[in-house]
Structure 1
Amino acid sequence: MRIDALRDLPVTPLGPGTAIEKCLLVGPGVVPHLQQFVRATFQPGQVAPVHAHADWTEVFYIESGAGTLTVEGTSHALRPGVTFRVDPGEHHEITSAPDSELVVVYVSVKA
């Protein structure tokens, strides 16, 4: 068993070259098939650029804020309480609204 508090976890960049911050709640190798369990904070107007994962399914939960999810060129509004799934190979991008911090909790699972 392991217990962690969000306030005690390090804050790191979501990815190379991005200022979006994340806390890795659970990393790879801890739970079978789970690649990561993350809480990411986007400042107003920040973008996680379009990308796809060949062998990951990702499930996202919008904790707070507003923004847009674009999957394969189709945009969807994000607001608190919304969940969505992105399947392997689907190109996706998340953008926070220009006037809103966006907090997203997500898991990445190996397909």
Structure 2
Amino acid sequence: MLVPGLTAGHYEDCPVHKIAAADKNKFVLLCDGKTLPFVSVIEIFDKDGKTPPNTHADAHEYFYVIAGEGIAAVDGKSIPIKPGSFFVVDPGHVHEVHNTGEGRLYVLTTMVPDEKFSDLILAGPKASLDEEDLRVLRGV
């Protein structure tokens, strides 16, 4: 939708990618760093999926759990996460997210600034949303 001063869309119209084909997580790219000065994604972790330990030089990363259960680890310290949990990782801190639940873990993640994260996602193989993903994201 084109309205001056407004960026809008719907997740079903957004690209879905993995960073690498073997990954157990995929990203719905809601906003990318070319359009806005940040990246916002819905990250979907399969059972036992996790991010690799990573850090960002300048970016703050905000996470909000939509569905599922897991653990967020920052600098080696872990906290449990579940629907409604949120956490923010400041620049320079090593962090990971692990799906420890029986089903998938759905996390809305926003990183400011983008630090080319959206480019990394778009460079990976395309993925798709299945009926389970659509059911969760529709709130059914």
TM-score, scaled relative to structure 2: 0.71
Tell me the distance in 1 between the aligned counterparts of 2:101 and 2:8: 35
* Correspondence for 2:40 among 37, 46, 56: 37
1:96 positional shift = 0.3
Letter in 1 for 2:98: T
The number of equivalent residue pairs is: 108
17-26 vs 64-73, greater mean Cα deviation? 17-26
1:86 is matched with 89
Per the alignment, in what secondary structure is the counterpart of residue 7 of structure 1? helix
Letter in 2 for 1:99: E
1:109 is matched with 112
Tell me the distance in 2 between the aligned counterparts of 1:57 and 1:9: 23
Tell me the distance in 2 between the aligned counterparts of 1:8 and 1:62: 21
* Contact 2:63/2:107, CA 8 A, preserved across alignment: yes
Tell me the distance in 1 between the aligned counterparts of 2:64 and 2:12: 20
2:27 is matched with 22
Tell me the distance in 2 between the aligned counterparts of 1:47 and 1:85: 17
* Contact 2:66/2:84, CA 8 A, preserved across alignment: yes
2:80 is matched with 77
1:7 is matched with 12
1:24 positional shift = 0.6
2:62 is matched with 59
* Correspondence for 1:96 among 95, 99, 103: 99
Deviating 4+ runs (over 6 angstroms): none
Where structure 1 has 5 or more consecutive residues not aligned to the other structure, the ranges are none
CA RMSD across the alignment? 1.6
1:46 is matched with 49
Computing the radius of gyration over CA atoms, which structure comes out larger, 1 or 2? 2
Where structure 2 has 5 or more consecutive residues not aligned to the other structure, the ranges are 115-140
Tell me the distance in 2 between the aligned counterparts of 1:57 and 1:69: 15
Q: Higher helix fraction: Structure 1 or Structure 2?
A: 2
1:30 positional shift = 2.1
Q: Higher strand fraction: Structure 1 or Structure 2?
A: 1
TM-score, scaled relative to structure 1: 0.89
Tell me the distance in 2 between the aligned counterparts of 1:100 and 1:89: 31
